[in-house]
Structures are given as structure tokens and as C-alpha cells.
């Protein structure tokens, strides 16, 4: 690429940047759309380090972006998976209470209804034992619309569709800085990174729209975008979540979640299955100050204690450190997604996404739909 002009420049080829590239290129077939990705391949950060659960939208305050986009995203994602043969399963999940925790299930059911999720049902003790004989629970809710998905297959499909629509996805291309030269005119400095990790001479391109989907680096990208009030950039809290895999046959056939952490810091260490049927547990919660995806085997004992609260027969020797992901959280406990458009920062053509933690995978197609709507006044001629 020499000095080139694009209609849209998206920073970040995670699930959100890819969903948006597909949506915008479908909406504006003649637009030139560029996606900058610093890594050698798409989706190497948070989008490949999560539970791969299609959430139903149970946990978020009504009318929050998380609630609305999760419910809409859930429907869009199942439809998209069916249309494009993306591996997924609508397994359903049990949210389980132990003795004394039962009122939390009632609160959850009411909150879910307020978010438009009417599908939760209470399970009797006999029904719990029938569904999951190895599970210990004094009460449970059943969520039929929760499922699992092959997130890599989803991203590859979105990439394929976007590229078919003419989108240029540029790996090893790191956004350095941008300046707003006037309404809808951004100069963007980019450096390409070769296989050894060293950077070539930076170059400049121009774009009419700039969309920050940089996940854990969204704050950094925003801070390097001139002409924006820096006080608008929300503080980033990195919160790491570790996973442990269970070798051998899974004890469960559905997803198993404890009642959510009362502090709203997380959903609790839950049991999920991948599409091959392997069971894994996680994520836990650890505030960190840098991005480091290592998983320390010494956490196993704490994991095992937590898991035994609903799976007393756990054989700890079958637990193995698996992987970790990092949440780009905007507060120390619950915080909503944040999408800043020109009505927030006064810069037409610029959209910044912050705090796209869970349920960002579920919400990805709905996030893309919303950002596309926000940009409709900028449509290329």
C-alpha cells in the first residue's frame, strides 16, 4: 500500500472488527474498506480466548447495551450459523444454586424477564438429576437458548464474506496514530510488522471513517487519535480469566453455571463444553496490569475447590491448565459496553468501542448492526 484513500478504516480484526467489515461492505457495496490487524492473523486476542458460549442475555441491567445487544446478537448468531453451516450447538445451560442461594435464581429470572428473556424455567430436583446426574444443586434454572459455537469458524466465515465484498484485511499492520483533518477526513499512520517482529518504515493513508475495534488496545488507539478530548477515554481495567480443561469423558451434557458472583465481577467458574464434547472450567477473575496469557498450574487447587461446590466427584488429577483470556473491563465490577460516536466526541466518521468484554462474541453481529446504523449519515456516494 502506498498513500491510499479508503472510505472506512477499521482498527482490529477480532470478531467485532470482522463482523463490522462484513456488515459495512454488504451495506455499501462500492465502499473501500480496510481492516488493520497488528497480528499475523485474524482473531488472535480476546476473540480466541473465551468460553465460546452463545449467551442468552440473562445477567445485564435492562436497557443496557450488553442486555440489548446480547439478546439481539443471540438471535442473529443462531440465524447466521444456520445459514453458513458454522459449527454450533444449542446445548442449553443450567444455572445452579446450592442451599441458601435459591433466592438468587428468582432475582435472575426476574432480571432476565426485564431484558426480554422469557425462556428461563425452574427445574425440579428430579429434573436436575435426570438432566445431569453428577451435578449437585439444590435448585436450578434452565436456559434453552444458551449454546456453544466454533468462534474460529465464525471469524473465518466473516472474513471470507468481507473479502468477497472487496474488504482489504491487512495483517501485520499496526495502527500508530491518526489525526482528524476535518469532518470525515482522517490521516492514519500505520507500520507493517515483519515475521521477526521488527517494524518497517511507517506510511500514511487517508480514510473518511475510522472505527476503533482494538479490544484491549482501544484506549491506546483512542489516545493516539488527535482531535479527541482525552478525558472521554474510559479507564481500562485488565481482568484475566484462566481455564482448566478436564481430561477424559465430560461429566456434563449441558453448560453448568453457578449463581453469579454477588459482587458482579463475573459469572463464576462454570463448566462449558467444546464442540468435541471436552469439558473445561473457568474463567476465574484476576485483575492484572499487563497482557500475559500464561496459566499457572498452581491455581488448580483453588479451581478444584470451587468446582466441587457443584461437582463433588471431581477427580483433581484430571484437571489441566488450558488457556487464559483478558477482559477489557471499564470498571472494577459491572460496566456496560461503551460506543462513542460524533454525538459524544464531536468528530463525524469516528466510532470508538470500549469495554467489549463478555458477551461481545454473542453480541458481535448486533454490535456491527448498531455501528452500521450510527454511520448511515456517512454513506459513501
Q: Say whether residue 178 binds ligand FAD (CB under 6 A).
A: no
Q: Site for ligand FAD (CB under 6 A): which residue of 6, 9, 17, 146?
A: 17
Q: Say whether residue 150 binds ligand FAD (CB under 6 A).
A: no
Q: Site for ligand FAD (CB under 6 A): which residue of 25, 32, 47, 340?
A: 47
Nearer to ligand FAD, 302 or 379 (CB): 302
* Residues contacting residue 351 through CB under 8 Å, at least 6 positions apart: 209, 210, 211, 212, 339, 340, 341, 371, 374, 375
Q: Site for ligand FAD (CB under 6 A): which residue of 9, 21, 34, 36?
A: 36
Long-range contacts of 255-258 (CB under 8 A, 24+ apart): 255/53, 255/91, 255/92, 255/93, 255/94, 255/146, 255/148, 256/93, 256/94, 256/96, 256/132, 256/135, 256/310, 256/311, 257/93, 257/94, 257/95, 257/96, 258/95, 258/96, 258/98, 258/309, 258/310
Q: Site for ligand FAD (CB under 6 A): which residue of 16, 65, 188, 295?
A: 16
Q: Site for ligand FAD (CB under 6 A): which residue of 8, 15, 69, 162?
A: 15
Q: Site for ligand FAD (CB under 6 A): which residue of 213, 314, 368, 375?
A: 213
Specify the DSSP class assigned to residue 261.
P
Per CB under 6 A, the segment of 216-224, 254-262, 288-296, 341-349 that binds ligand FAD is 216-224
Q: Which of 352, 295, 343 is closest to 319 using CA atoms?
A: 295
Per CB under 6 A, the segment of 23-31, 35-43, 126-134, 311-319 that binds ligand FAD is 35-43
Task: Give CA 321 to chain center in angstroms.
Answer: 22
Binding pattern to ligand FAD, positions 218-247, x when CB under 6 A? ---x-------------------x------
Q: Say whether residue 37 binds ligand FAD (CB under 6 A).
A: yes
Q: CA 112, CA 105: separation in Å to the nearest integer?
A: 10
**Residues within the interface to ligand FAD (CB under 6 A):** 11-17, 36-39, 43-47, 49-53, 55, 174-175, 213-217, 221, 241, 283, 325-327, 356-362
Amino acid at each position: 500500500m502506498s498513500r491510499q484513500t479508503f472510505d472506512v478504516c477499521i482498527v482490529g480484526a477480532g470478531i467485532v472488527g470482522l463482523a463490522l467489515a462484513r456488515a459495512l461492505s454488504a451495506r455499501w457495496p462500492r465502499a473501500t474498506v480496510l481492516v488493520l490487524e497488528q497480528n499475523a492473523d485474524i482473531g488472535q486476542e480476546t476473540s480466541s480466548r473465551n468460553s465460546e458460549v452463545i449467551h442468552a442475555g440473562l445477567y445485564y441491567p435492562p436497557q443496557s447495551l450488553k442486555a440489548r445487544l446480547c439478546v439481539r446478537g443471540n438471535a442473529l448468531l443462531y440465524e447466521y450459523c444456520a445459514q453458513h453451516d458454522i459449527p454450533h450447538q444449542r446445548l442449553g445451560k443450567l444455572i445452579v444454586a446450592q442451599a441458601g442461594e435459591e433466592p438468587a435464581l428468582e432475582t435472575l429470572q426476574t432480571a432476565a424477564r426485564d431484558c426480554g428473556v422469557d425462556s428461563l424455567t425452574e427445574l425440579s430436583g428430579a429434573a436436575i438429576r435426570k438432566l445431569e446426574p453428577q451435578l449437585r444443586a439444590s435448585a436450578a434454572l434452565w436456559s434453552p437458548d444458551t449454546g456453544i459455537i466454533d468462534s474460529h469458524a465464525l471469524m473465518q466465515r466473516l472474513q471470507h464474506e468481507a473479502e468477497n465484498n472487496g474488504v482489504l484485511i491487512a495483517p501485520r499492520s499496526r495502527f500508530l496514530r491518526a489525526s482528524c483533518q476535518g469532518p470525515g477526513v482522517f490521516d492514519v499512520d500505520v507500520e507493517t510488522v515483519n515475521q521477526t517482529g521488527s517494524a518497517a518504515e511507517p506510511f500514511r493513508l487517508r480514510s473518511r471513517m475510522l472505527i476503533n475495534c482494538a479490544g484491549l488496545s482501544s484506549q491506546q488507539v483512542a489516545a493516539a487519535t488527535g482531535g479527541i478530548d482525552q478525558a472521554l477515554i474510559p479507564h481500562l481495567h485488565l481482568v484475566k480469566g484462566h481455564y482448566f480443561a478436564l481430561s477424559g469423558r465430560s461429566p456434563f451434557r449441558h453448560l453448568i453455571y453457578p449463581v453469579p458472583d454477588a459482587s458482579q465481577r463475573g459469572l463464576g467458574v462454570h463448566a462449558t463444553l467444546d464442540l468435541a464434547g471436552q469439558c473445561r472450567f473457568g474463567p476465574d477473575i484476576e485483575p492484572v496490569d499487563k497482557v500475559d496469557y500464561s496459566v499457572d498450574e498452581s491455581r488448580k487447587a483453588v479451581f478444584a475447590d470451587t468446582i466441587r461446590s457443584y461437582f463433588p466427584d471431581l477427580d483433581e488429577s484430571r484437571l489441566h491448565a488450558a488457556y487464559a483470556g483478558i477482559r477489557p473491563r471499564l470498571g472494577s465490577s459491572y460496566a456496560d459496553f461503551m460506543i462513542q460516536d460524533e454525538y459524544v466526541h464531536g468528530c463525524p466518521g469516528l466510532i470508538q468501542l470500549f469495554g467489549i468484554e463478555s458477551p461481545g462474541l454473542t453480541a458481535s453481529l448486533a454490535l456491527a448492526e448498531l455501528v452500521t446504523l450510527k454511520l448511515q449519515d456517512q454513506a459513501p456516494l
